[in-house]
Amino acid sequence: MPAKYSHAKKRSAARKSNTHTTTQHSHGHAHGHAQRKHAPPNPLLDRSLTQALGALATLERCIARILLLRYEQDIARLFSTRLYCVALLHVPTLLMRCMAVGGPGWAAHNADSDAVKDFFRAAIAMDMRQAGERVATKSVLWSYTVLRHFALANGVAVCRTRGLHSMHLLPHYAALKTHLDALDAAPPPAFAKPAHLGGLADGLDALEDACALGGALDGAWRAKVRAGYERLVQTLWRVAREFDARGYGLVLREKLVRNWCECGCSTDHLGEVCERAVREDEQENGVRSGKQREWDGRGSGVYGWGTEEEEDIWEAELDFVGSEQPEDGGSDALADMSIGERMEWRYLRAEREKEQGNVAFKKGDFERAITHYVAASKIEPEMPHYHLNLAAAHLKLSQWVEAETACDRALSQHRSGKGYFRRARARKMRGQTDGAIKDLRAALLIQPRNAEARTALAALLPDRSRPPEVAVGSSSSSHAHTRAREDDDEALGLPRAKPPKPLPFAKTEQDARRLKIAPLPITLDLPEDMGLGLGEDAGRKGKAGNAKGARAQMQTMSFSYPSWERYVIQRVD
């Protein structure tokens, strides 16, 4: 939807040229308004009309806000199911691969290591970039079902073909506002294991059976595997909570926050689109029990909703073609792609821009690096590390405000140690010492062993007494070092870390190995010009560029592609 009220400047000219014309709203929906010669204005009528339009605008803002908050909850809810399935299917495989390199007890002793957490972060980030395509349509349908059920319960008629009209809900605005207040008062959406799903016994049993078939394990392997699996799953959920569902699904969010029309046509259009789907679902499956509960319209389109058999929609193939064409009228090749293919092509183009930015960054050409990082973030705005790269380039050019803004964007999606550390640098240079201290403490909560962040935080705090150095060769050096770290944390204003629960088996030489979990790159033959009718290339070349693209030279490119299946585990010590 273009900017609102863009039609306002055209009205005066239209009235002069035609007394019976149709004006066009900024949202693109035509409204027929017959123009006629008006009698002298009636102040009472004008006042009542203004009040009615104001009430409708308030109602529309309420509806849009309800859709947005429920959308955020749906992302968190459905991705939690995804993580539960990852814990059952992919974490056991990860543990077995770690066993092959580090032994049966490695996962139990190293589940909280940076290698494991970074692997989880990369895979989760790749999943979360798909949240909009996978959740938006279902969430909007469920929220419309809620509004529809509310309307029917209050005697509001719903058209069989055009659905619910928002103006009919005006007398019931107070009840809608009460529901909105309840949504606003709820805690921010977070990832947590859905209560209705079962435990992890199935995954653990399958893991133990697979390990038993491998043979050649020590007598305590079963206890080690069980502890390692439980700790890996705990780390998975902790890492997932670093991500914020409110930073994803930006396409629908933009429509609800900025482009939702307050005249009522946006809700009316929602009814036209969703009413048919709701009626077809009710005819096929009946009115489900969940839809009979107040404010609960979810479940349609997800198999086994609310049961132990609920599906992981991230496993569903997005093999259908979207109804919306590229905004810039891109090439036919892109228009013919399925939703899943568009997502993958978008990621490859963004990675190409990022790699070109990295090359420029290493050469010291930070301005050019910024150009590529900005392009990558525009192509794939829901990958936070592009914004982190952009922040690093701005810091090199002493562009503190721009660096802080880039970090804000990244942290709105993923609360990472890099994001907090780089924003702390920008804030420090802007004289915002308190903000820098707060960010450094947040970074150390995520990465307690980040020595650079510790040094930077110590330099910003007032003079303080450091704990005495501990002699490395002393018999109690391990205990003394732990005590010194705790004292140092207290002096830095960090909360005392909760010690991990002791394991019932000793740490072996194999358990002390340092491992690296690296994604396997994908290698593809792609055209040298990867614009494919998008972005700046489309603007310069148009149809001629597309015709030339068919004969474009191909080159072999490799891309990092984190996933739950394709990775390799190697020793680094």
Please tell me the predicted confidence (pLDDT) of residue 108: 96
Please tell me the predicted confidence (pLDDT) of residue 23: 45
The whole-angstrom separation of Cα 27 and Cα 266 is: 8
Among 167-176, 218-227, 369-378, which is the least confidently predicted range? Answer: 218-227
- Which residues 6+ apart lie within 8 Å of 408 measured at CB? 423
Candidate ranges 244-253, 313-322, 534-543; pick with highest mean pLDDT: 244-253
Would the pLDDT of 321 be above 70? no
The whole-angstrom separation of Cα 125 and Cα 421 is: 19
Q: Look at residues 40, 38, 31, 35 and name the one whose alpha carbon lies nearest to residue 15.
A: 35
In terms of pLDDT, which residue wins out, 291 or 356? 356
Please tell me the predicted confidence (pLDDT) of residue 281: 82
Please tell me the predicted confidence (pLDDT) of residue 540: 39
The whole-angstrom separation of Cα 46 and Cα 54 is: 12
The whole-angstrom separation of Cα 252 and Cα 132 is: 7
According to DSSP, the β-strands at 522-527 and 554-559 are antiparallel
Among 224-238, 423-437, 477-491, 531-545, which is the least confidently predicted range? Answer: 531-545
Task: Tell me the DSSP string of 71-85.
Answer: HHHHHHHHHHHHHHH
Q: What would the pLDDT profile of 69-119 be if each residue is shown by its tens digit? A: 999 999 999 999 999 999 999 999 999 999 999 989 999 999 999 999 999
The residue whose two tokens read 């721009």 is 402
Beta bridge partners of 159: 163
Q: Look at residues 221, 240, 219 and name the one whose alpha carbon lies nearest to residue 107.
A: 221
Residues of the chain with CATH 1.25.40.10: 332-465+484-496
What stretches of 300-354 adopt beta strand conformation (E)? none
Architecture category of domain 332-465+484-496 in CATH: Alpha Horseshoe (1.25)
Among 142-151, 203-212, 331-340, which is the least confidently predicted range? Answer: 331-340
19 falls in which pLDDT band (50, 70, 90)? very low
Among 56-70, 127-141, 234-248, 305-319, which is the least confidently predicted range? Answer: 305-319
In terms of pLDDT, which residue wins out, 538 or 446? 446
Please tell me the predicted confidence (pLDDT) of residue 500: 82
- What does pLDDT average to over the chain? 83
Q: CA 53 → CA 10, 45, 155, distances in Å? A: 21, 12, 23
The predicted model gives 275-287 an average pLDDT of 82
Spacing of C-alpha 284 from chain mean position: 33
Largest CA distance in the chain: 99
The whole-angstrom separation of Cα 309 and Cα 275 is: 28
Whether residue 571 contacts residue 513, with contact meaning beta carbons closer than 8 Å, is answered with: yes
Please tell me the predicted confidence (pLDDT) of residue 522: 87
- Burial string for 325-363 (b: 16+ CB within 10 Å, else e) reads ebeeebbeebeebeeeebbebbbbbbbbbbbbbeebbee
Please tell me the predicted confidence (pLDDT) of residue 322: 56
pTM score: 0.84
Please tell me the predicted confidence (pLDDT) of residue 479: 58
Q: How far apart are the first and last CA of the chain?
A: 55
Please tell me the predicted confidence (pLDDT) of residue 1: 41
Would the pLDDT of 548 be above 70? no
Q: What would the pLDDT profile of 479-522 be if each residue is shown by its tens digit? A: 555 666 676 778 888 888 788 889 999 999 999 999 999 999 98
61 falls in which pLDDT band (50, 70, 90)? very high
Please tell me the predicted confidence (pLDDT) of residue 424: 98
Q: What percent of the chain has pLDDT over 70?
A: 77
Among 339-348, 389-398, 532-541, which is the least confidently predicted range? Answer: 532-541
The predicted model gives 167-172 an average pLDDT of 92
The whole-angstrom separation of Cα 287 and Cα 487 is: 61
Q: What would the pLDDT profile of 425-435 be if each residue is shown by its tens digit? A: 999 999 999 99
Whether residue 119 contacts residue 526, with contact meaning beta carbons closer than 8 Å, is answered with: no
Q: What percent of the chain has pLDDT over 90?
A: 56
Would the pLDDT of 465 be above 50? no
Please tell me the predicted confidence (pLDDT) of residue 290: 46
